[in-house]
């Protein structure tokens, strides 16, 4: 994609992601309508495993994504190829171990949770392999292949899950969703030049581990912030409450795909500029503000139309409709955080990310337990999680922009982020 413009690439990827996510959201709501809340809670557990799967690489994949554009900008193609091969060898080994761990977990549980873990044992390693293929497409900025892989990795399991829910309940939904993920993986090996030979060797392996460990810690904390509330809900409130929370989360996080699509190719270009000695400004300031605005508008629309639609289309999920309003400010905060977070990652300034994410996560978990103890349930958990994202996003943004950008650009960016946050807060209050 060397000659393809950023806007064209993002438009293509966003179009594919929008279709995939809209299809997934429609399937989630259809499954919620077909299953009782406890059965849907088991299905949400399986989906949580599937959505977490791309991050189970323990730093090797993200180190490849960070280092290869830098060395490519310096013309070190052989070294870049060795890094890619080592990353694939390590992540595929991890995928096999994760599958075995989920299988053992299924043998120790029963009911809906057992069905979710058993399906995850087959689907999660396949999802990790698909994510490796997406990562390679990201590194070489191949938006066509990335779009196709992301779309198929979403549509295939969601179609299977819907078919299973309509035919046989929660166990069938999890099982057929896993079958869809396996089929999608087998159907997309890639052309011969796109296939990577997994090969672990000492020098690239050590480099990936040295880079990937700190990077993965920041990513793991960030992802844990998003999924920890689901664990708290299912443990303290049960699978039916998780079903309510799953409806709100599926609807509320839909606008996040806009930020994700934009950031998909912004990070490699930021790294290539840094590799050639240029500054980070052109891939941080305006792109970050445009991402925030693009996410803010659909969040405002969801705040107005989402709750009544959920109440009308999904009787029995009134709590989920109320929790949706609590989820949306956290989505905007996480979207505005995207480019400042990328800036710190690209410059290896990771300690503030780790410390702030750990603080926000600790407050999130403690707050979730407290609001459940006070009887506020799923809605209280949603508000606490949003508060954690707002704290984390504001802290990282102020630090990253104030430390690594000229003062005028930093103030301009912070003003734009504050305006977006105040706009959403005002709309929710009204």
**Exposed (0-12), middle (13-18) or buried (19+): which is 227, by Cβ within 10 Å?**
middle
Same domain, 29 and 48: yes
pLDDT in tens, 202-228: 899 999 988 888 888 887 887 787 778
Same domain, 157 and 263: no
Cα–Cα separations (whole angstroms), residue 82 to 56, 129, 197, 203:
21, 18, 10, 9
Same domain, 194 and 213: no
Of 24-33, 189-198, 241-250, 324-333, the range with the lowest mean pLDDT is: 189-198
Which band of pLDDT confidence, cut at 50, 70 and 90, is reported for residue 371?
very high
Same domain, 184 and 288: no
pTM value is 0.73
Which band of pLDDT confidence, cut at 50, 70 and 90, is reported for residue 181?
very high
From 141, 174, 200, give the residue that closes a domain. Answer: 200
Q: DSSP letters of 399-421? A: HHHHHHS-HHHHHHHHHHHHHHH
pLDDT in tens, 231-282: 888 888 887 888 888 888 878 877 877 777 777 777 787 888 887 877 787 7
Same domain, 292 and 149: no
Same domain, 237 and 144: no
Instruction: Quote the percentage of the chain above a pLDDT of 70.
Output: 93
Asked if pLDDT for residue 185 goes beyond 60, the answer is yes
89/97 Cα distance (integer angstroms): 13
Kind and range of the H or E run holding 423: helix 407-429
Asked if pLDDT for residue 159 goes beyond 90, the answer is yes
Q: Which two tokens stand for residue 176?
A: 């057929």
Q: Which two tokens stand for residue 425?
A: 């807060």
| Nearest to 48, CA basis, from 326, 212, 253, 215 | 253
Contact 96, 125 (CB under 8 A): yes
CA dihedral 250, 255, 257, 263 (to 10 degrees): -140
Same domain, 300 and 317: yes
Q: Which domain holds residue 272?
A: 209-430
Same domain, 117 and 188: yes
Q: Which two tokens stand for residue 333?
A: 């905060």
Same domain, 162 and 270: no
Neighbours of 402 (CB within 10 A): 14
From 159, 175, 200, give the residue that closes a domain. Answer: 200
From 200, 218, 244, give the residue that closes a domain. Answer: 200
Same domain, 283 and 354: yes
Contact 414, 290 (CB under 8 A): no
Same domain, 190 and 248: no
Same domain, 31 and 158: yes
What domain count does the chain have?
2
Question: Cα 311–52–140 angle (5° rounding)?
Answer: 115
């Amino acid at each position: 994609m060397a000659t393809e413009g950023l806007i064209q690439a993002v438009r293509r990827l966003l179009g594919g992601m929008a279709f995939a996510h809209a299809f997934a959201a429609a399937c989630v709501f259809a499954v919620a309508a077909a299953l009782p809340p406890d059965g849907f809670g088991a299905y949400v557990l399986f989906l949580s495993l599937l959505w977490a799967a791309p991050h189970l690489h323990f730093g090797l994949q993200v180190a490849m994504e960070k280092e290869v554009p830098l060395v490519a900008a310096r013309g070190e193609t052989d070294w870049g190829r060795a890094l890619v091969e080592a990353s694939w060898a390590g992540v595929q080994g991890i995928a096999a171990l994760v599958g075995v761990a989920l299988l053992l977990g299924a043998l120790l549980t029963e009911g809906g949770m057992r069905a979710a873990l058993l399906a995850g044992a087959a689907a999660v390693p396949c999802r990790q392999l698909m994510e490796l293929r997406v990562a390679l497409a990201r590194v070489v900025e191949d938006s066509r292949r990335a779009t196709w892989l992301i779309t198929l990795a979403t549509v295939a399991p969601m179609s299977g899950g819907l078919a299973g829910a309509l035919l046989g309940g929660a166990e069938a939904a999890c099982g057929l969703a896993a079958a869809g993920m396996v089929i999608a993986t087998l159907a997309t090996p890639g052309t011969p030049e796109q296939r990577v030979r997994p090969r672990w060797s000492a020098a690239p392996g050590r480099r990936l581990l040295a880079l990937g460990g700190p990077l993965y810690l920041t990513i793991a904390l960030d992802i844990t912030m998003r999924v920890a509330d689901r664990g708290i809900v299912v443990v303290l409130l049960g699978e039916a409450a998780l079903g309510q929370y799953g409806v709100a989360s599926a609807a509320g996080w839909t606008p996040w795909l806009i930020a994700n699509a934009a950031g998909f190719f912004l990070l490699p270009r930021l790294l290539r500029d840094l590799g050639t000695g240029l500054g980070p400004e052109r891939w941080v300031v305006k792109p970050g503000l445009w991402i925030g605005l693009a996410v803010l508008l659909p969040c405002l629309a969801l705040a107005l139309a989402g709750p009544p639609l959920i109440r009308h289309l999904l009787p029995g999920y009134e709590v989920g409709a109320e929790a949706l309003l609590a989820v949306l400010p956290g989505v905007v905060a996480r979207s505005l955080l995207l480019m400042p977070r990328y800036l710190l990652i690209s410059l290896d300034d990771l300690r503030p990310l780790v410390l702030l994410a750990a603080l926000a996560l600790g407050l999130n978990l403690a707050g979730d337990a407290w609001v459940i103890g006070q009887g506020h349930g799923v809605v209280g958990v949603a508000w606490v999680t949003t508060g954690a994202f707002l704290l984390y996003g504001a802290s990282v943004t102020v630090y990253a922009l104030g430390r690594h950008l000229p003062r005028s650009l930093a103030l301009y960016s912070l003003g734009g982020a504050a305006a977006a946050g105040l706009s959403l807060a005002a709309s929710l209050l009204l």
